[in-house]
A and B are shown apart, each in its own frame.
Chain A
């Protein structure tokens, strides 16, 4: 067993830290309150070549694994950028998996290099108003007409659509009533987000205000058949391949935010003096912070194990799910304790921990809810009967 990072991995961690240090808490505070996409940060990450970390070298990336991508996302979140920073790049880092593994050579040559360079922003539209966790029940339909597909439907919670040039769009090419297995008949497109046919309506939300989340109304969107990823009808399976990496990355982001919160809280607990002593001398303050630290470390072990399994091409569904479960929980607790440690100041915008707290709440819901993770473990790890 070897828990050590390779020298190149250590270097990535160090250099990403150095890059993120140029975007301090004030930057993120500003972007969060002005609801502005962090273009400068995105540009710096793109320039330094990190967007293509998991995209193969022949398509303009660096061809590294999910382990390296997880380290990148952990550091990006831990810098204080939290979900505003992570979500600005998350989809480029992991979302191209289905295209890389199943897309046609033409599609890959055409799109991946520009995506790796950060010239093309891409959204990921799976969730629908009537099909949240229950993905197979999506209604957005794609009908073939000659060399085109015509797509109609609605998507919800589509992140970054305001910025996006393209959207990785999950549709039904065969209605659910007509397929033998409900996971069949779904198709994935890497489509241009044509504003003539797609209305993007931003949703107001609890946090992560720098990166938008939207409702999409898709009305006769014409997509060339060359934008279809892989074969018609196999979209759901292509998507499944990407779920484990996404869980691993989200877990790493959660750990990063937890670390950010904890470091702010610990620094404050050392300095803040009330009742004639630093508050950190009270076990009521110190112990919860110590406990959070240990929980974040434990979550990180699971996350890195899942990443290692994935990169070694071994099954990692259980580990990826458990990592997401534990990391989202440990992160939420760390952020909550950080707010508590800072007392009234913790509730104030300028002290940043309330921002982390607001942002990290989503990690218990998206991209998969804690409950659905527990369903997975109950059914696929413990072998209990499926409850739904």
Chain B
């Protein structure tokens, strides 16, 4: 079974993020880039499905600048078979991203697309859902367990206050939650082999899509500094302050 895993490159969660003075974006010098952690879980799941079924192909894709190759190589080192880099240096909104992925789906014809439920940088949580809609495929978001039997897929979803199990026919789109699996680290032979695997760069213009963003980021702001707390003398005083000062009750 062919599985497509689209992923995004994001700043390493361990880096301290600085916002540019004009609020147009984040300062990228000294930022270490990694595969979005939820997408890494998607890669791991795709590899496990392939290992379980003992057949198939895992294709990675990302949409970004030429140097995003590095993260694709990381995924190839983990064990994916080949990769596509849709090259652009323009920022794209989520709908355009979903449309680009849909184009690749049309060409590759995978039975399953697995991707992270959201990217940890902008937390949009939209691409998987939009993609399923564009393709007219079933979708299962926030997956914490995934099973495939023949042409059917069963997914346990993490929903508010519990778990929901859904079953649907393939082809389909699944987005991953944190508890689905723990991604592997690449072996040294894996790293060496990754350098020789196919990695195709495709200029985004060749896809013939309208890339005009429907969404524009107007400003980025750091969250306000937390104020120091205050000690209160009694429950009565607390209730009074919550009511009169904070106006919460």
Cβ proximity bits A36-49 to B, threshold 8 Å, 1 near / 0 not: 00000000000111
B28 beta carbon closer than 8 Å to chain A: no
B78 (CB) vs chain A CBs: closest residue: A15
Asked if A15 and B185 make an inter-chain contact with CB atoms under 8 angstroms apart, the answer reads yes
Chain B residues whose C-beta falls within 8 Å of the C-beta of A15 in the assembled complex: 77, 185-188, 191
* Main secondary structure on B side of the interface with A: helix
A179 CB–B CB distance under 8 Å: no
Interface size, A (range): 10 to 19
Q: Is B62 an interface residue (CB 8 A)?
A: no
- A77: min CB distance to chain B, Å: 17
B73 contacts A by Cβ under 8 Å: yes
A11 and B74 contact, CB distance less than 8 A: yes
- The residue on A at minimum CB distance from B191 is A11
Q: Could you tell me how many residues of chain B have their Cβ less than 8 Å away from some Cβ of chain A?
A: 14
CA distance A14 to B192 in the complex (A): 14
Assess whether B73 is in contact with A7, with CB atoms less than 8 Å apart: yes
Q: Residue B90 at the A interface, CB < 8 A?
A: no
| Interchain CB contact under 8 A, A8 and B74 | no
User: Are A11's CB and B186's CB within 8 A?
Assistant: yes
Would you call B189 and A11 a contact (CB within 8 A)?
no
Q: Give residues 1-27 of A contacting B (CB, 8 Å).
A: 7-8, 10-12, 14-16, 18-19
Taking CB as reference atom, which chain A residue is nearest B186?
A: A15
Asked if A226 lies at the interface with its beta carbon under 8 angstroms from chain B, I say no
Interface set, chain A 156-185, CB cutoff 8 A to B: none
Indicate if A50 sits at the interface (CB-CB under 8 A). yes
In the complex, whether A133 has a CB less than 8 A from a CB of chain B is no
Residues of B within 8 A of A19 (CB): 185
* B187 partner, pick from A7, A49, A64, beta carbons under 8 A: A49
CA of A7 to CA of B187 in the docked complex: distance in angstroms?
Answer: 15
Measured in the bound complex, the distance between the Cα atoms of B106 and A213 in whole Å is 62
A 31-73 contacts with B by CB, 8 A = 47-50, 52-53, 62, 64
Please measure, in the bound complex, the distance between the C-alpha atom of A241 and the C-alpha atom of B77, giving whole angstroms.
33
Interfacial chain A residues near B192, Cβ < 8 Å: 8, 62
- Whether A14 contacts B74 by the Cβ 8 Å rule is yes
Q: Are A7 and B70 neighbours in the complex by a CB distance under 8 Å? A: yes
Nearest-neighbour CB distance to chain B for A80, whole angstroms, equals 15
Q: Is B195 an interface residue (CB 8 A)?
A: yes
User: Which residues from A are CB-within-8-Å of B195?
Assistant: 8
Do the beta carbons of B77 and A11 come within 8 Å of each other?
Answer: yes
Contacts of B77 in A (CB 8 A): 11, 15
**A47 engages B187 (CB within 8 Å):** yes
**B188 CB contact (under 8 Å) in A7, A10, A18, A62:** A62
Assess the A12–B188 pair: CB atoms within 8 A: yes
Question: B54 to nearest A CB, angstroms?
Answer: 20
Q: What residues of A have a CB within 8 angstroms of the CB of B191 in the complex? A: 8, 11-12, 15
Q: A15-B77, A15-B191, A62-B192 are in contact. Are A10 and B185 (CB under 8 A)?
A: no
> Least Cβ distance of A205 to chain B in Å?
31
Distance of A125 from chain B, by nearest CB (Å) = 28
Q: How far is the CB of B41 from chain A (nearest CB, A)?
A: 14
CA distance A10 to B187 in the complex (A): 14
Cα–Cα, bound, A185→B74 (Å): 50
Known: A11-B77, A12-B188. 10 other contacts (CB 8 A): A11-B186, A12-B191, A15-B185, A15-B187, A18-B185, A18-B186, A19-B185, A47-B187, A48-B186, A52-B188
A-B contact pairs, 10 of them (CB 8 A): A7-B70, A8-B191, A8-B192, A19-B185, A47-B187, A49-B187, A49-B189, A62-B188, A62-B189, A64-B188
